[in-house]
Structure 1
Amino acid sequence: MPWCLDGANVCPPEDVGGIAGYEDFLAAISDPTHPEHENMVQWCGRPFDAAHFDLEDTNRRLMEIQL
């Protein structure tokens, strides 16, 4: 069974647009004065903390994988 011992950061939202799109997303979401801030907050649909990592959730999801 796969098991995660450590990690860092949350994965990007689906369909964010690759590396460049994720960089643009992070810039917009972290700056309330950014012209795309409100659009990105609405698009994401939830609070987004790029530095968040949940080890328990990761391992719970890994346990759900059928090998």
Structure 2
Amino acid sequence: VVAPTVLQNVVDMAIQIHGGEGVSRDTPLTAFFNQARSLRLADGPDEVHKGMIAKLELKKRGYGR
């Protein structure tokens, strides 16, 4: 959950730093951003993963079903 989000944030910052060139095809940043976004959706949305983690943690502590 964390790594793909951090990757997307880093690439987004790099695009911001490069300005207009960051969204041009002269740099690989737009491709990196598209790949990072795809990674975040590959196994399902972040909310689904966070919900699963919460259920597992609650179950470990005796609160889950």
**Do both share a fold (TM > 0.5)?**
no
Which one scores higher on RCO, CA 8 angstroms, separation ≥ 6?
Answer: 1
TM-score, scaled to structure 1: 0.32
Query: Normalising by the residue count of structure 2, what TM-score does the alignment of the two structures yield?
Result: 0.32
Q: Which has the larger radius of gyration?
A: 2
